[in-house]
Amino acid sequence: MTADNQKELDDFLRSMRQAYNGRDLKAFRAHFWTDKRFVNLDVSGRIDVGWGAYEEILDSEFRYMDKVTLELRDMRITPIDDQFATAICNWKLSQIDPDGRTVSQSGRASFAMTRLRSEWKIVQQHFSTDPAEA
């Protein structure tokens, strides 16, 4: 993988996180393969098969929460070639509900990404809890 591709993927994942934090579902969706074969493995154990199932969950979370903050730290991107890559990182999610309560979770995440035409897309993601919190 070239240095340009590495920077492109770093920027892509940063943009995805910023769209999530801005609760901008349209911008967030642009980072994903919106096919019915997309799979999201949630920290709660929920498996969303198909983009539509995952989008429904996101839509309700974005509408309900007053604020969401997703942090992705210690990102390690592993290139497969110029068309495929994986990334693993530590994550932390803080959500503030309408009553002002803050709920925080953290753990590890992995992303499988491919270049579709000229754009990178996340084709599968998996979030797990921090073993210290389990």
User: Considering the domain boundaries, does residue 134 fall inside one?
Assistant: no
Q: Which domain holds residue 125?
A: 3-129
Between the alpha carbon of residue 2 and those of residues 7, 44, 71, 132, the distances in Å are 9, 36, 26, 36
pLDDT in the model for residue 79: 86
SS3 at position 8: helix
pTM (2 d.p.): 0.90
CB 128 within 8 A of CB 102: no
Strand, coil or helix: what is 73? strand
The reply to whether 100 falls in a domain is yes
**Which CATH number does the domain housing residue 12 bear?**
3.10.450.50
pLDDT score recorded for residue 97: 85
Tell me, what's the pLDDT at 1?
54
Q: What are phi and psi of 10, to 5 degrees?
A: -60, -45
pLDDT in tens, the chain (134 residues): 567 778 899 999 999 999 999 999 999 999 999 999 999 999 888 999 999 999 999 998 888 888 999 999 999 999 888 899 999 999 999 998 888 899 899 999 999 999 998 899 999 999 999 777 65
- Residue 46 is assigned to a structural domain of this protein: yes
Domain count, the chain: 1
